[in-house]
Amino acid sequence: MDNTPKKRQRSDSQERENHLDYSACEKVLHLNVGGTLTAVLRRTLTSVEGSLLASRFSGRWDESIEKDRDGNFFIDQPIELFLPMINYLRAKACETALAPPVTSPEFESEEKRRDFVRMVEYYGMTSGIFPTVMEMCRGEPESAEICGHPNLSVVAREWATFTLETRGHKRPITSFSVVLGKVERAQIGWVRPGHFVKKLRPGEHKGVGEERFSFGLDCFRGGLLYEGAFTELDGLSTETGTVIRCENRGERWLVNGQLVASSIALEETFQLPPDLQQYFLIPAFSGKGDWKVCEVELDPVISDHKATISHAHR
């Protein structure tokens, strides 16, 4: 009696089971981190979009990644630095809107903290480990749509003001770049949070640079606003696609790579008064229209008040 069909069915069934087992194993990565064995879900390790780890462990390059003699993926980093980063990503995967934000890893040793920041920068993980968020502070909440990482952007159908702040860590923002979309008005700059920011104040309100404790670039009028005083900048104009960069807490301002204002005396451009820069400042944006934050730089030193983050251009 020929049992070939039954044998073939058993063979096919066994092959499917082996494939399922292999697929399940693929979801768990077995790592050798500096000599210490650990395991992590692939989706956890690759959760920061655009990072080196997301690319390297996407599954496309598994055969070319360095392995130890037992076949574990080898990562040449100290476990005491790499594991806190993985544990943070695990905690982020369980984060909910009602719970306190996940706190970025902290270290008692200043040397270890700097080594950790350096490692995070190397892997392109800054936006995931030291995140920033955009929040409305003045205006009607239903009139705007805010997108988080990796496309940190806002669409404001009515005049509103937003702040860019850190979440779960104390590395202050030092510089940022914004790409303008279609905007009717846009005022981009810095504010003292304890004085300027008043959460969700309804009705008409002044924007960044029009009140005390704030200064910024007025894209609509082509100049600078400094605590209510306006100074026109000759030849300054903006349009859809214009990139505005502000460096070192308002010390230097560039539009499409061209320096338009500075508080550095040696630079031959409009001179900003440095008065506000002695205070703790956060980026803020007032406007109607849409724009996107394409880069954020963080101070490598932790501040008591509360690296480069690149956001995808799409």
Quick one: 93 and 237 in the same domain?
Answer: no
Task: Using alpha carbons only, give the angle 232, 233, 239 rounded to the nearest 5 degrees.
Answer: 105
Quick one: 59 and 199 in the same domain?
Answer: no
Structure-block tokens of residue 157: 């159908």
pLDDT at residue 18 in the model: 47
- Per the structure, the count of domains in the chain is 2
Q: Which H or E element spans position 259?
A: strand 258-262
pTM over cut 0.85:
no
Which of 170, 73, 86, 87 is CA-nearest to residue 123?
86
Quick one: 274 and 137 in the same domain?
Answer: yes
Quick one: 103 and 121 in the same domain?
Answer: yes
Quick one: 200 and 118 in the same domain?
Answer: no
Quick one: 172 and 306 in the same domain?
Answer: yes
Amino acid, single-letter form, for residue 92: K
Quick one: 99 and 184 in the same domain?
Answer: no
pLDDT at residue 263 in the model: 84
Q: Is 19 helix (H, G, I), strand (E, B) or coil?
A: helix
Considering 129, 158, 179, which residue would you say is the last residue of a domain?
A: 129
CATH number, domain at 227? Answer: 2.60.120.920
Quick one: 174 and 248 in the same domain?
Answer: yes
Distance CA 57, CA 54 (A): 6
Quick one: 102 and 61 in the same domain?
Answer: yes
Considering 85, 109, 129, which residue would you say is the last residue of a domain?
A: 129
Residue with tokens 């451009």: 269
As a whole number of Å, the end-to-end CA separation of the chain is 64
The residue range of the domain holding 55 is 4-129
The dihedral sign for the CA sequence 111, 116, 117, 122: positive
**Cα 7 versus chain centre, distance:** 56
Q: Which ranges constitute the DSSP H helices of the chain?
A: 4-27, 42-45, 52-56, 79-93, 110-122, 126-129, 193-196
Kindly state the DSSP code that residue 61 receives in the 8-state scheme.
S
Quick one: 160 and 110 in the same domain?
Answer: no
Quick one: 167 and 304 in the same domain?
Answer: yes
Distance CA 233, CA 87 (A): 49
Considering 78, 109, 129, which residue would you say is the last residue of a domain?
A: 129
Tens place of pLDDT for every residue, the chain, 314 residues?
555 555 555 555 555 544 444 454 479 999 999 999 999 999 999 999 999 999 999 988 889 999 999 999 999 999 999 999 999 999 999 988 888 889 999 999 999 999 999 999 999 999 999 999 999 988 888 999 999 877 889 999 999 999 999 999 989 999 999 999 999 989 999 998 877 766 555 556 789 999 888 999 999 999 999 999 999 988 888 999 999 999 998 889 999 999 998 888 787 777 776 666 667 889 999 999 999 999 999 998 766 544 555 555 44
CATH number, domain at 64? Answer: 3.30.710.10
pLDDT at residue 300 in the model: 84
Quick one: 56 and 193 in the same domain?
Answer: no
Distance CA 254, CA 243 (A): 8
Which of 216, 180, 182, 179 is CA-nearest to residue 196?
216
Cα distances from 264 to residues 136, 218, 226, in angstroms, run: 32, 20, 16
Distance CA 67, CA 267 (A): 52
